[in-house]
Amino acid sequence: MNTVNRQVQLASRPKGEANAENFRLVETAMPTLADGQVRVQHHYLSLDPYMRGRMDESKSYAASQPLGEVMIGGTVGAVVESRHPGFNVGDKVVGMGGWQEYSVVDGNARGALRKVDTTHIPLSAYLGAVGMPGVTAWYGLMKICMPKAGETVVVSAASGAVGSVVGQLAEARGCRAVGIAGGPDKCRYVVEELGFDACVDYKAHADPKAFYLALKEATPDGIDGHFENVGGMILDAVLRRMNAFGRIALCGMISGYDGESIPLTHPQLILVSRLKLEGFIVSEHMEVWPEALKELGTLVALGKLKYRESVAQGIAAAPEAFLGLLKGRNFGKQLVKLV
């Protein structure tokens, strides 16, 4: 077995836009396992927009990423050594192993490591459609947007790991699903492969007025539920299209992840249209995970829930792949393949 573990650590905090110099690739010696511990070799590392917020030292819903330590991140892999009776060598597992090739996990820590079945579901899907992004989509749609057949549901970043699931789940519940994505290829994928009813290309309609008119055309009956991942111009336009008593799940504000302020042009519409707008963090709702994962896993296994992955190769590629994710260069779920 390998005696060296390669890791990506946070070397410095970004001043505005994050860059490659904020990260550092290091090699560390493999520690000896203690009783109750499990060593996992990571096959895939998940890259997600929330990680950008953790890089800052500021008040947020979670602690900041410490400097000089392994970057936080979800991982899937296989047990390669175990001193815990509940885990055997070869078990496929999902956890929060971070940006590194191996991790040592306390097998007794509740929820730290979960065994998964790859008979009908690919291992990588447990970081996407059947993982945290999928449950995020499920919770925001089902518990906040509360879709009803015949309603219109809009989702920004529609071709991404979360947005793609939101639209497909809304379609399955009889809704008109409208995506917002950047570029003709992504919009074509959203409509032709994922089955959305329409998709608005925000890059082709970069002017706020033009974007609003394109969104209006795609939502002739207004918007009943909206799943927000971006903020800014997109949320401004959506608020103008929301029907009375509409529901908005506020999942992310990627347009402001580099420190820019995100003004709201017409906040009075929240009152005028009597809207429900709720921010949420999916890790605070663990009670729904079993129900959500059961539905998501079944749909993926049956081929009824489609997803796409962008895969970078090797731990050294993680920083650039992450920076590309923040710029929307990925297509679908962004992963790093380590094995």
Q: What angle do CA 74, 135, 70 make, to 5 degrees?
A: 15
pLDDT over 70 (residue 129): yes
The distance of Cα 185 from the centroid of its chain, to the nearest Å, equals 20
Q: What is the predicted pLDDT for the residue at 258?
A: 67
- Closest by CA to 204, choosing from 176, 185, 223, is 185
| Backbone dihedral angles phi then psi of residue 118, each to the nearest 5 degrees | -105, 20
pLDDT over 90 (residue 260): no
Which residue do the tokens 């002739």 mark? 220
pLDDT over 90 (residue 41): yes
What pairs with residue 226 in β-bridges? Answer: 154, 248
Q: How many CA atoms lie within 13 A of 246 on its CB side?
A: 26
Mean pLDDT of the chain: 95
Q: What is the predicted pLDDT for the residue at 48?
A: 93
Q: What is the predicted pLDDT for the residue at 289?
A: 96
How much of the chain, in percent, has pLDDT values that exceed 90?
A: 89
Q: What is the predicted pLDDT for the residue at 261?
A: 82
Residues 184-217 have pLDDT tens digits of 999 999 999 999 999 999 999 999 999 999 999 9
Pairing mode, if any, of strands 75-82 and 37-46?
A: antiparallel
Residues 70-88 have pLDDT tens digits of 999 999 999 999 999 999 9
What distances in angstroms separate CA 31 from CA 3, 76, 155, 299, one per listed residue? Answer: 9, 20, 45, 40
Give the model's confidence band at 142: pLDDT under 50 very low, under 70 low, under 90 confident, else very high: very high
Residues 251-278, mean pLDDT to the nearest whole number: 89
Q: What is the predicted pLDDT for the residue at 217?
A: 98
Distance CA 315, CA 101 (A): 7
Other CB atoms within a 10 A radius of the CB of residue 335 amount to 24
Q: What is the predicted pLDDT for the residue at 276?
A: 98
pLDDT over 70 (residue 168): yes
How much of the chain, in percent, has pLDDT values that exceed 70?
A: 98
The answer to whether 161 and 131 are in contact (CB under 8 A) is: no
Q: What is the predicted pLDDT for the residue at 311?
A: 97
Point out the least confidently predicted range of 53-57, 81-85, 143-147, 231-235. 53-57
Q: What is the predicted pLDDT for the residue at 63?
A: 82
Q: Which domains does the chain have, with CATH numbers?
A: 4-128+307-337 (3.90.180.10), 132-283 (3.40.50.720)
Which residue do the tokens 């994922």 mark? 194
Give the model's confidence band at 254: pLDDT under 50 very low, under 70 low, under 90 confident, else very high: confident
